[in-house]
Structure 1
Amino acid sequence: MTTNEIRKAFLDFFASKGHQIVPSAPIVVKNDPTLMFTNAGMNQFKDVFLGEAPVKYPRVADTQRCLRVSGKHNDLEEVGIDTYHHTMFEMLGNWSFGDYFKEEAIAWSWELLTDVLGIPKDRLYVTVFEGDEKEGLPKDQEAYDFWKRWIAEDRILLGNKKDNFWEMGDTGPCGPCSEIHVDCRSDEQRNTVDGKTLVNNDDPQVIEIWNNVFMQFNRLKDGSLQLLPAQHVDTGMGHERLVRVLQGKSSNYDTDTFQPLIQFISKECGIPYNMGESTGKTDIAMRVMSDHIRAIAFAIADGQLPSNNKAGYVIRRILRRAVRYAYTFLNFKEPFFNKLVPILADQFDGVFPELKAQQDFVQKVILEEEISFLRTLATGIQRFERYAAGSGTVDGEFAFELYDTFGFPIDLTDLMAREKGLSVDMEGFNKALEQQKSRSRAATAVDTGDWVVVGEGDENEFIGYDELEAESRILKYRKVSAKGKEQYQLVLNKTPFYAESGGQVGDTGLLIGDESIRITDTKKENALIVHFTDEIPEGFNFNQPVKSIVDKQRRGQTENNHSVTHLLQAALRQVLGTHVQQKGSLVNPDYLRFDFAHFSKLSDDEIAKVEAIVNKKIRENIQLKEERRVPYQDAINRGVTALFGEKYGDVVRVITFDENFSVELCGGTHVKSTGQIGYFKIISESAVAAGVRRIEAITGEAAETYIIQQNKLINELKGLLKNPKDLVKSVEALFEENTKLKKELEKAVLAKASGLKDELAAKAENINGINFIAAKIDLASAEAVKNLAYSLKNMLDDLFLVIATDAEGKPGLTVMISESLVEQKDLHAGNIIRVLAKEINGGGGGQPFYATAGGKESSGLERALSKAREFLV
């Protein structure tokens, strides 16, 4: 069976058992503060497990794209090294929400694996929870007894809490689980070593294939367990592992899931790929590339661009890991990784169509990231070469700098060091790495208390499309601590407060009872609408009704900016082309930010055209047409604009401003007619990532104020320039005059440097045959200092020169050493400057014969000059 046939067999089987087949959620998580990425099939159903959302279908099955590269589930370092771990993988799953439980789940998993897919029964083992005395949890005898109906008892193994009690996190739904393992070894190997001894022992040929989780409990903040209102089944089977078993391979990478990618890589680099469990560097590199392209491509398709923070940093790190392997072991010195995208898109066409629909965009983003990183990689290698000259040990902090700044894994630094006969200070590297991890953990640590239930009901209804005030009841609250700040979160039975979503910020306002609570923000947590406040008055009566009041002015300004993003996207598509797609947005009361797919800077003329179209639509005062419960597929068939990376429900909300202009799926709040927006003005246009441009704009009073300020600025400039007839020409004349004066100043500085050259040469002191000059000079131009240093080097043999400068309170140091001294005396200007720079509270670096540094403390310049002498003693 092929990869696609196996996936279809799974979904068809559970459809025959009454399961609703649902689409995969995006790999990027948006409304769950505990997750960056979807790391398990159950993530999209988390609110159902918690009882925070109604059960739509009691039985569900799907294939979910997952990513495990951060947090509790982190397989990144194993990927490519072994044969069965992956960053992005497909999780085949079936769920029961308060419907069937252990008996059916076990029976159906056995039926599918043995009867439908034909896996030999004598190759299967199962595990069940052995119990935990400390927690007061009994052995899962129920699951054990159900398994005895299908499999020999000596193949039912007891597992501890680590292996057979599944928990979503430190808190949340959990329960015992029953894993199914497959022994993929040869008959000879199976006759030699009993397979049961290899289960859960990291044997690459005896692997877990399926996990049946029986959700029975909710883990509270204090560690205790409470029974869930209903019992659920949550199963997950790794599709890649299943394919490997059914295709009789010893590695996931030998299946038709990965081989099209690997064979393309092999052909392009001219290096054959060795099937099986090869540990050769080139084979590992091909596995890394074929795995990582999946994670990166789907993350970008789902809306997460590579960047320097949070989820974007994770994606960039995976991409750079792949490119580094390609560069180091497969000799791809030019961008290549992006060429895998079309192959991948074809493989998943019809399964996850999001990638095929955005193939060109995804490939372009990866290409630009590759170009950037290959530049960085080359710079890092040059930096290492300069540092390593004349050094016996690579300092741990320097190795960490290469890792953190240039994306060099420590094994690459170690490899380059060994090639030069050097060693790496691993203790120092690990210390710096742990310090960074500690900082990261501290920055993201959130201590969330358990919900305190104070009211009955679970409506949690949003009425803010129609009302900005409501009579509400508080259902529950909890305390949250983050970064040393305490806040409270509250859930209401019904609320007019809009929860941050789709780029629109959350509402603020008041809850008024016998005392008032100021709401500072509103966010979504899965299906919950959560209201934030910094303080709850002591003795506040939670059982009383409260009046919920949204800040109307703030909401109105936000609606202006949100509605205009719809007009803006439509205008951009008119001016630039239909390839324009929204890639992100921020809508708040002060301004709007709109990111969109486009590969070149907008010209002034294009910006003017976009502004003109939007302002025309504002003047037309187009009435909002809002449709709240449109079947999703009907909306798509109508050609309604939807966002990639959004998880839409069965019914959607359609926002229309002129049927022939702007029709979009959107859950945000909007103006009743476009005239309310007033005026639209773009204030900046820039690149935010490869293939993504960003527009920042303002509306209404903010736009009016901006125009007034710009006119005021122009009038002030005219006044300074004596009211010229042509302001532009007058400013250009000033620039020309300034350029002329700068050239004259440079000549004067160079003349001064030339005079200093003879003066300093005369002061050269002979120390052990070395011409030593250490002097503080009055020369503001860095270029002039550099020219002076090179001139002195040409005048004096065996020169050791240290120059100190203090230009407008900014201290600087320059070290120049003759090549003869670098070779004979083992001197290195780059290493020396790092030592001297400490005296001025600064840093620097450079080549063995020339280096510079800057600092903050001018008072340390004399100490630095004095310390320079120590290198010659």
Structure 2
Amino acid sequence: MKSQDIRANFLEFFKEKSHRIVPSAPMVIKDDPTLMFTNAGMNQFKEFFLGNSIPKETRVVDTQKCLRVSGKHNDLEEVGKDTYHHTMFEMLGNWSFGDYFKEEAIAWAWEFLTEVCKIDKDCLYVTVFEGSTDKDNLAKDEEALELWRKIVAEDKILYGNKKDNFWEMGDQGPCGPCSEIHVDIRPAEEKAKVPGASLVNQDHPQVVEIWNLVFMQYNRRANGDLESLPSKHVDTGMGFERLCMVMQGVQSNYDTDVFTPIIREIETITSAKYAKDEAVDIAIRVIADHIRAVSFSIADGQLPSNTGAGYVIRRILRRAIRYGFTFLDTKEPFMYRLVKVLSDTMGDAFPELRDQRQLIENVVKEEEHSFLKTLDQGLVLLDNIVASNKGKTIDGRKAFELYDTFGFPIDLTALILGERGYELDEKGFEIAMQEQKKRSRSASEVSKEDWVVLDSDNEQEFVGYDMLEASVKLVKYRKVTSKKEGEQFQMVFNLTPFYPEGGGQVGDKGYLELVNGDVVYILDTKRENNEIVHFSKELPATLTDKFKAVVDKKQRQRTAANHTATHLLHQALREVLGEHVEQKGSAVHSKYLRFDFSHFAKLTVDELREVENFVNARISGNLPLVENRNIPMEEALEQGAMALFGEKYGDAVRTIRFGQSVELCGGTHVKNTGDIWHFKIKSEGAVAAGIRRIEAITSDAVKDFYSENNKMLFEIKDLLNNTADPVKSVTALQEENSLLKKQVEALLKEKAKNLKGELLQELTEVNGIQFLAKQLSLDAAGIKDIAFEMGNNKDNLFLLFAAENDGKALLSCYISKELVAQKNLNAGTIVRELGKYIQGGGGGQPFFATAGGKNPNGIAEALEKAKGYLG
């Protein structure tokens, strides 16, 4: 059975059980401060488990894109080494929010696996929570046990501890006992030798967990105590790839049609063969898995970068590249060529792969180019470490610096050192790694106390679209402590005019006015689990009073102007550049706006001017805001509203229209485009392959910009003796400067000509080689010119020139091409080795190479050592 049929059968089975099929949430999470990525199917339903929202449907079913590469659920280092762990995977799940519980969940799971999928019952084992004797003192899950006994033989029921059979979202939050279903797909002869029950939860590659039925009935408090949830829920998760393995009768997830098309393409591109060599197999599995994780992340709007979620994606991609580099001998970009196969095989279920294919290919290819360059640079730096090392053991801290600062993989370092007869101080590396992790954890560590609930009957209301002030009462609060922010309080009110950070827009600031006239400042506003949370350094003195909540009006107005400007900018770019332009990210602050978009080339001056004029024409047109706050998604799309990839939309959405610009948006906006006053682009540049970024300002910031530029113009005129035409005066200075440069160049060429004659006279013959090692008073370009000039006049030439410029040392080595061929000399190798005397490194071609360093005092010794290469 094909994988797409397996997925469809699962969804249809639960649809017939009165479940609504819901789409996968984006894999990249943008508006939840507690998570970077969706790592479990339940993430998009957290608000229902916590009781912060009431679900429209109490039964749903879906297949959820998940990524597990960081935090508690981290499978990254296992991926490729075995046949069943993945970074990106699909989780099939059926959900009950306060509806059915254990009886239906267990019966339906067994029915689907044994009757729909026709899996042999003798191959299946189930686990039940055995209870705990720790401080929780939880009883055995007798209810689940009795339900299983009705449908499964006793010898197929196993008992699991808290680690295996008690599921928790994190240190705090909803949790409960679970029943896992495991499958034994070993050949019959192996089953006869060792019973499958003894291999459950033992990391056996052919006795694997296939489905986890979680019974959410508790809430874990900050102090570790458990309390019963007001409603009981069902949260199930089945590994789609593992189910395909079972259904297709293969022994590995990578042998299913989910992965085989990608693996075949890797074989075609690299000429490597799968299932022939274990090291090659691991590399191919890593690449096949990681291209999925990276592609889905980019399709969901997360580009590789140096921070946050983008850093994780870059790390996954680089792990794949280095496996190819090391074991498949891929020295050129190749992974981007796998995107088409992935799009072809999974595009029906996840159309974003097809829609974003070109962008994914461009980004992956550019990242490959960049990291392969990093690997080349890392090899040079590793050469320097080896050259300056005493003994055969390389300091682990130096290797860590190479890994941490330059991104050079530690396993590649160890491999190269081993080939050269050196050992890596792995203990020293691990100590340095743990020290860095400790520093990182310490910097980002956050301690959250439990919520103190004052009123549990209120469903929060946001009134900030219509008013900037409101009378509010405190519903709950908690204390949060972090190294970065110190001690803060988070507060939730029954209603609020404060807009929470989201959709690229910053959260509102403002204050609470108390009954006695005191003020408590609101420093930030965020959304967490569908609640708007307000941050402050202090709590109101009296918690049960009503307060006047006041949003900072000036900041809100400036932010709203910038947000509306992003909509007009988006329209302008599509009008000026073409309809291929799509928004890829935005940041809306009170002082500026940032807008990322898909486009293949740098914008010309004329295009930028046209975009600016387009936006300003709409501002001058005084276009009114036309807002629909609660219309069906289908209706909004029919009206031409732009939906962004990677965003999560509900059934009912809010549309924002200014003239012909219509977008789905939850942010705040001006009532009329005239309120923006003016729009000015400050910069335009590349973010990644096929992604451009515009930074711009509006309103008061534009006034400040023109005021500052006017002031600067007067200062320039003053420097030019108050000329009436500063442009003409600067042009004259540029022409004069250009003339002087030409004169200096002519003088330097004359000097070099004379110097060349002197240096040719200084050549000495060593073993038939014309040799000279000397320090010169020239820059790098001058030295290169004179070396090649001398090479045109003399054969069998070996030159080593040095120079000191701005406190830095430079070595340049020139070797005639006939010597390179006859004597096996290599300028690149020589300067790398001599570079240790100037505490630097470099490289180049066999006939010419340079090295730079920070120790000019080592120049003399480097020149002295040069003759040693002549034999």
TM-score by length of 2: 0.89
CA contact (8 A) 1:81 1:279 kept: no
What secondary structure is seen at the aligned counterpart in 1 of 2:653?
strand
- Structure 1 residue 751: Cα displacement: 9.7
Is it true that 1:536 corresponds to 2:539 in the alignment? yes
1:767 equivalent in structure 2: none
Q: Report if the CA contact (8 A) 1:774-1:865 is conserved.
A: no
Residue equivalent to 1:491: 492
Aligned to 1:114: 114
* Residues 844 and 854 in structure 1, CA contact (< 8 A), matched pair in contact too: no
Structure 2 counterpart SS, 1:688: strand
The separation in 2 between residues aligned to 1:405 and 1:178, in whole angstroms, is 45
Aligned to 1:34: 34
Aligned residue in 1 for 2:326: 328
Residues 685 and 462 of structure 1, relative CA distance in 2, 3 Å threshold: same
Partner of 2:565: 564
Unaligned runs of at least 5 residues, structure 2 = 763-770, 867-871
Corresponding position of 2:340: 342
* 1:835/1:227 CA distance change after superposition, 3 Å: farther
Matched residue, 1:607: 608
Task: Give the whole-Å Cα distance in 1 for the aligned partners of 2:268 and 2:804.
Answer: 56
- Counterpart of 1:619? 620
> Which 10-residue stretch deviates more, 192-201 or 437-446?
437-446
For residue 257 of structure 1, report the CA deviation from its aligned partner.
0.7
Match of 2:300 in 1: 302
Instruction: Show the counterpart of 1:76.
Output: 76
Select between 447-456 and 739-748 the one with higher mean Cα deviation: 739-748
Mapping 1:122-161, distance limit 5 Å: 122-135=122-135, 136-161=137-162
* Partner residue in 2 for 1:692: 691
Matched, 1:462 2:462: yes
Aligned residues: 840
Distance 1:269 1:676 in 2: 58
Distance 1:199 1:303 in 2: 38
Q: Report SS of the residue matched to 2:594.
A: strand
One-letter identity of the residue aligned with 2:285: R
User: Residue 65 of structure 1 aligns with which residue?
Assistant: 65
**Offset at 1:791?**
13
| Paired position in structure 2 for 1:241 | 242
Matches within 5 A, 1:499-510: 499-510=500-511
Question: What do the CA deviations read for 1:707-766 (whole angstroms, capped 9, x no partner)?
Answer: 2332343344344335667654543442343344456667888999999x999x99xxxx
The aligned amino acid for 1:853 is G
The secondary structure found in structure 2 opposite 1:476 is: strand
Inter-partner Cα distance in structure 2 for 1:350 and 1:799: 63
Residues 870, 461 of structure 1: CA spacing in aligned structure 2 closer, same or farther, 3 A cutoff?
farther
Aligned partner of 1:525 in structure 2 is 528
1:80-111 superposed Cα distances (whole Å, 9 cap, x missing partner): 12111111100000111111111111111111
Contact 1:179 1:212 in 2 (8 A): yes
Structure 1: how far apart are the matches of 2:346 and 2:594? 32
Letter in 1 for 2:350: F
Equivalent runs, 1:785-824 vs 2, <5 Å: 807=806, 811-813=807-809
8 Å Cα contact 1:834/1:845 also seen in 2:
no
Counterparts of 1:439-478 in structure 2 under 5 Å?
Answer: 439-478=439-478
State the distance in 1 between where 2:428 and 2:787 align: 35
Classify the secondary structure of the residue corresponding to 1:89: strand
| Closer, same or farther: CA 390–562 of 1 in aligned 2, 3 Å | closer
CA shift in 2, pair 1:802/1:728, >3 Å: closer
Bigger drift between 22-31 and 717-726 goes to: 717-726
How far residue 518 of structure 1 moved from its aligned partner, in angstroms, is 0.3
1:713 aligned partner: 712
Q: Give the distance between the partners of 2:772 and 2:226, measured in 1 at CA.
A: 75
**8 Å contact from structure 2 (residues 800, 863) kept in 1:** no
Residue 647 of structure 1 aligns to a residue whose secondary structure is coil
The match for 1:251 is 252
Structure 1 Cα separation of the partners of residues 504 and 862 of structure 2 = 56
Structure 1 Cα separation of the partners of residues 297 and 130 of structure 2: 38
> Helix, strand or coil: the match of 1:473?
strand
Q: What one-letter code is carried by the residue in structure 1 that aligns with 2:520?
A: I
The within-5 A match list for 1:217-366 is 217-274=218-275, 280-366=278-364
C-alpha separation in 2, matches of 1:166 and 1:502 = 31
Partner of residue 87, structure 1: 87
- Retained in 2: the 8 A contact 1:386–1:846? no
CA distance in 1, matches of 2:739, 2:228: 81
Write the distance in 2 (CA, Å) between the matches of 1:473 and 1:544.
7
Residue deviations 1:127-184 (CA, integer Å, cap 9, x gap): 1111111131111111111110111111111111111111111111111111100001
* 2:417 equivalent in structure 1: 417
> What CA RMSD, in Å, does the superposition of the two structures yield over aligned residues?
3.6
Q: Distance in 1 between matches of 2:598 and 2:626?
A: 27
Distance 1:624 1:183, change over 3 A: same
Which is worse superposed, 740-749 or 457-466? 740-749
For residue 633 of structure 1, report the CA deviation from its aligned partner. Answer: 1.7
Q: What displacement does 1:606 show?
A: 0.3
Q: Please tell me whether the aligned partners of residues 183 and 207 of structure 2 are also in contact (alpha carbons under 8 angstroms).
A: yes
Distance 1:600 1:365 in 2: 14
What SS is found at the alignment partner of 1:671?
coil
Match status 1:195 vs 2:196: yes
Matched letter for residue 812 of structure 1: K
Cα contact 1:387–1:830 (8 A) shared by 2: no
The amino acid of 1:84's aligned partner reads Y
Rate the CA distance shift 1:434–1:831 in 2: closer, same or farther, 3 A: farther
Query: Given residue 96 of structure 1, which amino acid in structure 2 is its aligned partner?
Result: S
Task: Tell me what 1:683 maps to.
Answer: 682
Q: Is the 8 A contact 1:774 1:868 kept in 2?
A: no
- Alignment check: 8 A CA contact 1:301 1:645 kept: yes
Aligned mates of 1:800, 1:481 — CA distance in 2: 60
Describe the superposition over 1:489-523 as per-residue Cα deviations: whole angstroms up to 9, x where unpaired.
11001000000111111111111113321001101
CA distance in 1, matches of 2:431, 2:803: 35
* Identical pairs, percent: 55
Q: Please give the alpha-carbon distance, in whole angstroms, between the structure 1 residues aligned to 2:740 and 2:700.
A: 43
SS at match of 2:233: strand
By how many angstroms is 1:773 displaced? 12
1:755-770 aligned at under 5 Å gives the runs none
Q: Which runs of 5+ in 1 are unaligned?
A: 763-770, 838-842, 856-860
Give secondary structure in 1 for the equivalent of 2:436.
Answer: helix
Shift of 1:815: 7.0
Q: Counterparts of 1:546 and 1:304 in 2: how far apart (Å)?
A: 40
1:610 and 1:816 map into 2 onto residues whose CA distance is 49
Q: CA offsets per residue over residues 295-346 of structure 1, 9 Å max, x none?
A: 1111001110011111101111111122222233333332221111122122
The answer on whether the counterparts of 1:813 and 1:833 sit within 8 Å (CA) in structure 2 is: no
Q: CA deviation at 1:281?
A: 2.3
Deviation at residue 440 of structure 1 after TM alignment: 2.3
Which amino acid in the other structure matches residue 583 of structure 1?
K
Corresponding letter in the other structure for 1:403: Y
Contact 1:586 1:593 in 2 (8 A): yes
Q: Are residue 379 (structure 1) and residue 392 (structure 2) matched? A: no
Superposition pairs for residues 579-594 of structure 1, below 5 Å?
A: 579-594=580-595
Closer, same or farther: CA 427–801 of 1 in aligned 2, 3 Å? farther
Give how far 1:212 is off. Answer: 0.6
Per-residue Cα deviation, 1:589-636 (whole angstroms, up to 9, x for no partner) = 111111111111100000111111111111110111000111012212
Task: Name the structure 2 match of 1:554.
Answer: 555
Give the residue type in structure 2 aligned to 1:568.
Answer: L
Whether the 8 Å CA contact 2:597–2:692 is kept in 1: the answer is: yes
> Which SS does the other structure have where 2:430 is aligned?
helix
Q: Does the CA contact (< 8 Å) of 1:498 and 1:506 recur in 2?
A: yes
Letter in 1 for 2:635: D
Checking the alignment, whether the CA contact within 8 Å between 1:460 and 1:528 is kept in structure 2 is: yes
CA distance in 1, matches of 2:837, 2:440: 29
The Cα shift of 1:270 comes to 2.6
SS at match of 2:359: helix
